[in-house]
Amino acid sequence: MTYSKSKAPLYPKSHLLAASGIAALLSLALLVFPSREVEAKKTFLDLRLDTAAELETASEEPLVSLSDESPFTRTETPGEPEFQSLQQEDAEAATKATPLSKEVVVANGDTLSTVFAKVGLPQATVHDVLASSKEAKQFARLKVGQRLEFELDDQGNLAQLRSQLNKLESVQLERSGTSYVFKKEQLKPDVSTAYAYGRIESSLFLAAKRAGLSHNLTMDLANVFGYDIDFAMDIRKGDSFEVIYEQKTVAGVRVGTGNILAARFTNRGKSYTAVRYTNKQGNSSYYTADGQSMRKAFIRTPVDFARISSRFSNGRKHPILNKIRAHKGVDYAAARGTPIKSAGDGKVLLAGRKGGYGNTVVIQHGNRYRTLYAHMQGFAKGVRNGSSVKQGQIIGYIGTTGLSTGPHLHYEFQVDGVHVDPLGLKLPMADPIAKNEKQRFLQLSNPLMARMDEERATMLAMKSE
């Protein structure tokens, strides 16, 4: 059987070009604005011509090429390998998430449990932290305003805990397996010397603050001169002081102070000097510029910066008994709970109740001297009958026990069994610098005194300009 081959109809060239252009535009439109049905599918466009002749005719003019490699047509479906690879990369990125950092500032009433709860950590984690080591228990001693920095892993578990205790110390816990490793970091500051000068207008504290001294340094200054100056009654407007002290810095930032190296205090026109010296046995104390001991056998006042409310008298009307009777001591009025210090080294004869004196401590100092401290709120730890105390040691706290109208300390001083006025008593001296160390001491003392003179002269000259 013979088949005749029908010839494909021939179209004008202009029709073919128009059809090719329209097809290209339609395919581009479908790719750029796909319908919902075709959004995640490959796009194929079949531009087959009926005959080879038509292909040859159409190829005479350029057409837009749409292949599978075109960026406009490379849309993957969820079941294809490349889409699955992208999903796997996203999952791996999620598992590599960095730890979450949180910070909590300790508020009044906070405990370690409440702080941990604020960052979403359970009580079990608190137990694990505290049980990890003895040192870790430092985290339980929180202070208001303290900052705790937490790092949690992607599962919400504690990875690291850090807290800065002060400008020089910080503590840290880092998880290691099922427990935590404790670390303590302590910066070593640079130590230099600094000079300060102050003139008293109303109080030592205000003058010291204006001079740039910290509260602790001011207290140290008062303690150095506490054997010669009664800071409760001797201070006057116009008194002045100079101090050379250790200053601690880290990266140029002041982080604290150290010891007073030398000082001068002018009270009522009389100047007192002090130099800190460490002997060959490693014991440190303060001496005058020429080597006499600043330390006396007794300190002049057993309460810092208290107000004298009643003086020693042989005839005073008792405020409660309303009778004229001798007041054989000095009363120092201060806030309830203010620390009371032992006037000298000695042995406690009594730490208990004593009639109208209330809570009382009596101390024997050697064979000749005895001191009494009355109306105490309570006794310091370790102070009891028969115990030994050191000069300046806290023995109790101001209260109103016994026959007392308000919080104060009643202080008595006896010499050979006779009551004397502690304010007018000439205190016995302690030993001066040993002769074999005198030269070594002067090599330290003389430059410090000279520096204070130079610093003061320079400062006063600048003020007068």
Higher pLDDT: 139 or 23? It is 139
Of the pLDDT bands very low, low, confident and very high (cuts 50, 70, 90), residue 300 is: confident
**Could you give the CA distance from residue 115 to residue 121 in angstroms, rounded to a whole number?**
9
Q: What is the pLDDT of residue 61?
A: 44
Strand partners, 121: none
Q: What is the pLDDT of residue 375?
A: 95
Is pTM, for the whole model, over 0.85? no
Which helix H or strand E contains 53, and what residues bound it?
helix 52-58
**Could you give the CA distance from residue 371 to residue 382 in angstroms, rounded to a whole number?**
18
Question: Quick check: 212 pLDDT over 90?
Answer: yes
Higher pLDDT: 320 or 415? It is 415
| Contact partners, residue 379, CB within 8 Å, separation at least 6 | 351, 359, 361, 395, 396
- Domain at 100-186, CATH from 3.10.450.350, 3.40.50.920, 3.40.140.10, 3.40.50.300: 3.10.450.350
Mean pLDDT on 51-58: 43
Of the pLDDT bands very low, low, confident and very high (cuts 50, 70, 90), residue 462 is: confident
Higher pLDDT: 92 or 63? It is 92
| Contact partners, residue 290, CB within 8 Å, separation at least 6 | 445
**Could you give the CA distance from residue 33 to residue 242 in angstroms, rounded to a whole number?**
86
Total residue length of the chain = 465
Of the pLDDT bands very low, low, confident and very high (cuts 50, 70, 90), residue 145 is: very high
Mean pLDDT on 253-282: 93
Of the pLDDT bands very low, low, confident and very high (cuts 50, 70, 90), residue 389 is: very high
Which ranges in the chain are annotated with CATH 3.10.450.350? Answer: 100-186, 190-296+431-465
Higher pLDDT: 235 or 52? It is 235
Q: What is the pLDDT of residue 322?
A: 56
Q: What is the pLDDT of residue 55?
A: 40
Of the pLDDT bands very low, low, confident and very high (cuts 50, 70, 90), residue 11 is: low
Q: What is the pLDDT of residue 59?
A: 44
Domain formed by 190-296+431-465, architecture: Roll (3.10)
Q: What is the pLDDT of residue 427?
A: 76
Question: Quick check: 17 pLDDT over 70?
Answer: no
| Contact partners, residue 106, CB within 8 Å, separation at least 6 | 115, 142, 143, 144, 145, 146, 147, 148
**Could you give the CA distance from residue 422 to residue 230 in angstroms, rounded to a whole number?**
11
Of the pLDDT bands very low, low, confident and very high (cuts 50, 70, 90), residue 377 is: very high
Question: Quick check: 244 pLDDT over 70?
Answer: yes
Look up tokens 């750029």; give the residue.
Answer: 32
3-state helix, strand, coil in the chain (%, to 5): 25, 35, 45
| Contact partners, residue 11, CB within 8 Å, separation at least 6 | 54
Of the pLDDT bands very low, low, confident and very high (cuts 50, 70, 90), residue 371 is: very high
For Cα atoms 432, 435, 439, give the angle at the middle one, nearest 5 degrees.
Answer: 105
Mean pLDDT on 257-269: 95
Strand partners, 160: 151, 174
Q: Does domain 307-420 fall into CATH 3.20.20.70?
A: no
- List pLDDT tens digits, range 414-445: 998 999 988 888 777 777 888 899 999 999 99
Q: What is the pLDDT of residue 103?
A: 92
Which ranges in the chain are annotated with CATH 2.70.70.10? Answer: 307-420
179-186 β-sheet, strand order:
100-105, 147-152, 158-164, 169-176, 179-186
Of the pLDDT bands very low, low, confident and very high (cuts 50, 70, 90), residue 81 is: low
**Could you give the CA distance from residue 386 to residue 11 in angstroms, rounded to a whole number?**
130
